[in-house]
Amino acid sequence: MHDSSYAKMASFVRVHLAAHRGQPLDIIDFGSQMVDGQQLSYRTLFDDPSWTYRGLDIESGHNVDIVVTDAYDWSEVASDSVDLVISGQAFEHVEYFWASMFEIVRTLKPGGIAAIIAPSGGFEHRFPVDCWRFYPDGLVALTSHVQCEVVDVFTDWGNLDWEDSVLVARKPDWDVDRRRLFERRSMLQRALLGDDLPDELRLDPGAHPDDLAPSALAALTTGALTAELDAARTARLEQEAAARHAAAAASRAQAAELDALRAHVAGLDHAPGPVERAYGIVRAHIARLVGERGRRLYKRLRGRV
C-alpha cells in the first residue's frame, strides 16, 4: 500500500464514518496481508473500540484474521453479516475481480458499504500477478453488474505514479425478486469459475429480506467523499501550477542575470588595458602643456600629418 491510498481511505473514514463512531460496525479488509517492506495498514484507521476490523486474504500472514480458500467463494464469511468491506491495492492483482465483488456484496448487510481503492495508472507490480487498472466508468459498470448503487466514484488524475481510483458502493435493501436474481447470478459466476459446470444449479433460498437488519451505514451521503477528494485534487494542481510558475520566473531571472554578466565580460574584453590608459593620459597632459603648436608637432612625430 502506498501513502496516497492510505490518505484516501483516511478521508473515507473522516467523511463517511465520523458520525458512526461509538456504533458497532463489522468491517472486513479484502487483501489485507502486509508483505515484506510494507509499512502501512488500514487497520490503524478503523480503531474505534466499537468497530470490529478483520483482515481477509487467501494466505495467512501479518494483518490477516480470515484466510479464505477461494478468492471467489468466501464460504468462511456468512451472507448479510458485514457492515463494511474495504480493499486497497488488491483488485489489480485479482484475476477475476468481478467474481470477488459478488462475494463482497453477498457478505454485506442490506445497506452495507464497499469501499475500494485501486490504481488507474502506474508501473507493473506483480504480486504474483498484475492484471488491471480502473477508471470511473469501469467502477460504475462494476457496481451496476453486482446490482449495487454508487455512493462515490473518483480518480485522482495526475497524482504521481498510481492515480488512485476510489469506489464507494452501497448494497440496496432488495425485495425478494431482486435478492433471488442476485443470488442466482452470484451462483452462476462461481460455477463459471469452477472446474466443472454443473448441469443444474440449486439455489439456496437464504434469508428472507424482511428478516435482515439493515446496516447502520445505509444512509451515507452520496457524493460527499467525491467532493472532498476533488477539492483536494484541485488544490494540489493549483499548488503545482504555482510552483511551476515560480520556477519559470526564477529561471527567467537567472537567465537575465547571466546575460548581464556575459555583457559585462564582453565589455571588459574590448576595454583599453593599463598601458593604453597611461598613454592616453600622458598624451592629454602634453597637449595641455604645449597647446596647438605642441599638438601639431606631436602629430608630425606620429606621422599623421
* Interval 183-220: pLDDT, tens: 999 999 988 888 777 777 677 767 788 888 999 999 99
Task: Tell me, yes or no, whether 110 lies in a domain.
Answer: yes
Using CA atoms of 41, 43, 47, 48 in order, give the dihedral in degrees to the nearest 10: 140
Q: What's residue 126's pLDDT?
A: 78
Q: What radius of gyration do the chain's Cα atoms show? A: 37
Number of domains within the chain = 2
Within 10 A of 40 (CB to CB), how many other CB atoms are there? 17
Task: Assess whether 166 and 245 both reside in one domain.
Answer: no
Task: Tell me, yes or no, whether 58 lies in a domain.
Answer: yes
Task: Assess whether 280 and 211 both reside in one domain.
Answer: no
Flag whether pLDDT at 30 surpasses 80: yes
Tell me which residue has cell 444449479. Answer: 201
Cell numbers linked to 290 = 604645449
Say what the pTM is: 0.81
Task: Assess whether 133 and 261 both reside in one domain.
Answer: no
The CATH number of whichever domain residue 115 belongs to comes to 3.40.50.150
Task: Assess whether 245 and 285 both reside in one domain.
Answer: yes
Task: Tell me, yes or no, whether 228 lies in a domain.
Answer: no
Which structural domain range is residue 267 located in?
A: 240-301
Cell numbers linked to 78 = 456468512
Task: Assess whether 215 and 101 both reside in one domain.
Answer: yes
Flag whether pLDDT at 305 surpasses 60: no
Residue 34 — pLDDT band, cuts 50, 70, 90? confident
Task: Tell me, yes or no, whether 235 lies in a domain.
Answer: no
Q: Are 155 and 120 in contact (CB under 8 A)?
A: yes
Task: Assess whether 258 and 288 both reside in one domain.
Answer: yes
Flag whether pLDDT at 278 surpasses 90: no
Task: Assess whether 18 and 87 both reside in one domain.
Answer: yes
pLDDT digits (tens, 9 = 90+) for 8-17: 999 999 999 9
At 138, the amino acid letter reads G
Task: Assess whether 136 and 254 both reside in one domain.
Answer: no
Task: Assess whether 118 and 212 both reside in one domain.
Answer: yes
pLDDT digits (tens, 9 = 90+) for 102-127: 999 999 999 999 999 999 988 888 77
